[in-house]
Amino acid sequence: MKAWQKVAMAAGLAVVIGGAAWFGVYWSNKDAVTVQTGQVVRQDVTSIVTASGEIRPKNYTNVLGEGIGKITNIVVKEGDHVQKGDVLLHLENIQPGADVQAQTAGVQAAESGMKAAAASYEAAIATLAERQADLDKAKLDFQRSQQLYNQELISKRDYDASKAAYDAAAAASKASQALVEQTRAAGEQMGSNTEQSRAQLMHTKDVLRKTTYTAPISGIVSYISVRVGENVVPGIQNAEGSFLMTISDMSIVTAEVKVDETDISGIANGQAADVTIDAVPGKIFKGHVSEVGELAILRSSGQAAMTESTANTQEARDFKVVVTLDNPPTAVRPGLSATAKIQTAQKKDVLAIPIQALAVRSQKDLERAQQASGSSVTLAASSPNASRGPQKPDVQGVFVVRGKRVAFVPVETGISGVTDIEVSSGLQEGDQIVIGSYKALRTLRPGAAIKIDGSVPKHDESSG
């Protein structure tokens, strides 16, 4: 046999062997599902609830209109730091000032009248004492005259004159007593008039005071809603007065966020939180939960969900949660957008897997796959969820790599972090599991042949 024939035969044999090998590999991978895998590892898992809201001071007050008048001067501007009692703005005060002056004069006149009434009363008391002394003397003279007249020692004329003098003294005493009562009543009336004038003066001073607005708390002027020349009106009944400005005490800064109703059960006072502020990029501020709202708020309108108009509204609800910043930045301002990541639970050194590795299969699909495989594959029968009955047929589990195939292993899970979730039973450390792709996990069946792709799983947009 010639050399070229030998070469041709060798080449042909190599082609046949290669083709057979390729066909074998192709046939073995014909129905294999391409997946990405990972391992069950021990790590720390932290459960986090993320919510958005805005920066707000712990203490702030809205300055509202108390009196009526035109704004003549605004002393402060937005961003100014003020102390409690500092002047904020002035209203026109000509008429209130004149009223105070007039009423002050009225009080002074009333007080002078009180002094005059007191002097008259003292004079009446002195006159009464004098008339009483005259009456006592006249009484003695009359008694003596009466004795002498009975003894016929004086004439009837002298007796009558003595009696007349006694009667006149008695009448004068009664008149003096009446004058005392009159001056005392006049004094009491003047006292009442004086108190009334003082009360009226207090009222006019209060009206005058309301033309000058001062800071009710120390803080910064975070918002001014009026301008010079505008009119201010006070609140009446259920209507609030004119809104003038807001004073915010930024010594205690909070992030007021809205937490979805599905997450609120895990929120409690004292939980640690990381707060980011859009206006301060790249920085994380530590804080803690200081207040958890008890009443649900409708997401679209912000109204309480328990009111009569919203009680039956089938709409997403949120709960207000206040996070107090431990060391707030100095330049922060009320109303800035903020995001809080609240740590609701944390576990150290537990078995964990990527969240996307979890899959859900119905009890019927698992039994069907077990019958088709003809082997005792660990399925839902070993799961605590298997006894749920026909009302809850779905089983949560993970696909574990067994050779070139996968087995569906039911698992129990604990807390979930941002990307990983705790596994409390069903898996062992180091187990190789299927973690992607999302499309493969949706359709993968127990016992299916797999082909491992070493690339990092990518999010399948079609999966939502």
pLDDT tens track for 175-224: 989 998 999 898 888 889 999 999 999 999 998 998 999 999 999 999 99
Query: Are 268 and 175 members of one domain?
Result: no
In this prediction, residue 196 carries a pLDDT of: 92
Question: Is there a contact between 146 and 161 (Cβ–Cβ < 8 Å)?
Answer: no
Residue 58 CA to its chain's centroid (Å): 8
Assigned domain for 61 exists: no
462 located within any domain: no
Share of the chain above pLDDT 90, in %: 48
Q: Determine, yes or no, domain membership for 65.
A: no
β-strand partners of 324 = 254, 288
Report the percentage of the chain scoring pLDDT > 70.
84
- Specify whether the CB–CB gap between 352 and 302 falls below 8 A: no
Task: Decide if 404 contacts 37 (C-beta within 8 A).
Answer: no
Reported as a single tens digit per residue, the pLDDT across 116-172 is 989 988 998 999 899 899 889 888 988 888 888 888 888 888 888 888 998 998 999
The 10 Å Cβ neighbour count of residue 218 is: 15
Residues 341 and 420 in one domain: no
pLDDT, residue 382, reads 43
Last residue of a domain, one of 345, 369, 399: 345
Phi and psi angles of residue 393, each rounded to the nearest 5 degrees, phi first: -80, -10
CA distance 87 to 75: 7
Name the domain count of the chain: 3
Judge if 409 and 336 occupy the same domain. no
> Are residues 319 and 373 both part of a single domain?
no
Does the pTM of the predicted model rise above 0.85?
no
**Average pLDDT for 285-302:** 89
Q: Which helix (DSSP H) or strand (DSSP E) does residue 36 occupy?
A: strand 33-39
Q: Does some domain include residue 104?
A: yes
In which element (H, E) is residue 248 found? strand 243-260
One domain, residues 373 and 330:
no
- Final residue in a domain of this structure, among 153, 187, 208: 208
Task: Evaluate if residue 226 carries a pLDDT over 90.
Answer: yes
If DSSP codes are grouped into helix, strand and coil, which group holds residue 5? helix
Q: Find tokens 């009667």 and name the residue.
A: 167
Is the residue at 14 inside a domain?
no
Confidence of residue 52 (pLDDT cuts 50, 70, 90): very high
Between CA 45 and CA 415 the distance in angstroms is 7
Tell me how crowded residue 290 is: count the other CB atoms within 10 A of its CB. Answer: 17
Q: Domain holding 321: CATH number?
A: 2.40.30.170
* Residue 189, domain member (yes or no): yes
State pLDDT tens for residues 240-255: 788 999 999 988 999 9
**pLDDT score, position 156:** 86
- What is d(CA 45, CA 267) in angstroms, rounded to the nearest whole number? 17
Is a pLDDT exceeding 60 seen at residue 309? no
Backbone angles phi, psi at 329, to 5 degrees: -70, 155
Q: Are 314 and 333 in contact (CB under 8 A)?
A: no
Asked whether residue 298 falls in the same domain as residue 396, the answer is no
Asked if 379 and 370 count as a contact pair (C-beta separation under 8 A), the reply is yes
Look at residue 260 and tell me whether its pLDDT is greater than 70: yes
Q: What angle do CA 319, 323, 326 make, to 5 degrees?
A: 175
Q: What is the mean pLDDT of the chain?
A: 84
Residues 362 and 452 in one domain: yes
Indicate the burial class of 3 (C-beta count within 10 angstroms; 0-12, 13-18, 19 or more).
exposed
Strands (E), 313-442: 317-325, 337-354, 359-362, 394-402, 405-410, 412-416, 420-425, 432-436
Asked if residue 295 belongs to a domain, the reply is yes
Is residue 142 located within the same domain as residue 159?
yes
State residue 359's pLDDT score: 92
Instruction: Tell whether 277 and 304 lie within a shared domain.
Output: yes
Closest by Cα among 352, 410, 358 to 384: 410
Burial tier of 427 (Cβ tally within 10 Å: 0-12, 13-18, 19+): buried
Indicate if 376 and 319 belong to the same structural domain.
no
* pLDDT of res. 9: 65
Domain that residue 443 falls in? 33-46+350-457
CATH of the domain at 386: 2.40.420.20
Dihedral sign from CA coordinates of 157, 160, 166, 167: negative
**Is residue 236 a part of any domain in this protein?**
no
Q: Do 101 and 202 have their domain in common? A: yes
Query: What is residue 14's predicted lDDT score, i.e. its pLDDT?
Result: 63
Specify the higher pLDDT residue, 271 or 387: 271
Looking at 208, 224, 239, which one is the last position of a domain?
Answer: 208
Structure tokens at 242: 């004119």
Q: Do 356 and 308 fall within a single domain? A: no
